[in-house]
Structure 1
Amino acid sequence: MAGKWFDELQVGDTFDHPIRRTVTETDNVLFTTMTHNPAQLHLDEEYCREHTEFGTRIVNSCFTLSLMVGISVAETTLGTAVANLGWDEVRFPKPVFHGDTLRVETEVIALRESRSRPDQGIVTFEHRAFNQKDELVAVCKRSGLQRKKPV
């Protein structure tokens, strides 16, 4: 399904995205090393076993954020986005572990016509990611510049 045009969206629209994703050790290690993040929380199992409350490595939160937003694209912004304008209020209330399966839902929380671009508008989405236990593991607000339906 293609993304939505700005003028097809209404505040309160909610999308339960059909893609779910099981996070693997490879996802975590590759993302963490590709971004030059040396945090032991993501890379050192022995350290985590001995020195953290989790007892094991946790998934890099930047990967979780990227996955959450990425899963949302097909139903929200695919082919209709001009630009991502920013992320606000990014939170990770519970950690993600290797083997967790995430699902994502998105809600339109604000819409505003662009003052300088009459064929575009600014949409604010709230993305929420849940693990297989239905625990909220990530949430963020994302603002983007979205095209209006061509006339």
Structure 2
Amino acid sequence: MRDYQRIAAAVAPCADRRAAMQSVVDALWGGLHDAGVSWVGFYMMDAAAGQMILGPRRDKPACSPIGLHGVCGQCCRGGLAIVVRDVRELGDNYVACDPRDRSEVVIPLFDDGDGCWGVLDLDSHEVGAFDDRDVAGLERVLNRAGFRTRP
């Protein structure tokens, strides 16, 4: 079981959005890399261009920009967390940055105007690596850093 309480305790609220994102990424990577997570990072909405841009991430760069048809775009547009048990079942609705990835969880982030400005995205090379407990734990970490995960 993943210890999101411990991870949240390692994150401090920060007024600077990019610094807060980096703090979250570093804490999650440190706490979850050995627990089956292969990548963690943020994507930010570029509504004018109809795409999402990569923000702070670990452990390696990923695709950027990405279209809104993928899981991150669907999460941001729909405003709800998405857990994907097996990304291979998504077909064209999956943006494959690492062909080894098999599951994904994406959490939307909201600004004061209730619009989704970005998402937190985690990947795993294991099928079924994430569930609703991960969503709740990730939301706890994000809230601790000062991010809103609900409109």
TM-score normalized with structure 1 length: 0.30
**Greater Rg over alpha carbons, structure:** 1
Higher strand share: 1
Higher helix share: 2
TM-score normalized with structure 2 length: 0.30
Q: Which has the higher contact order (CA 8 A, sep 6+)?
A: 1
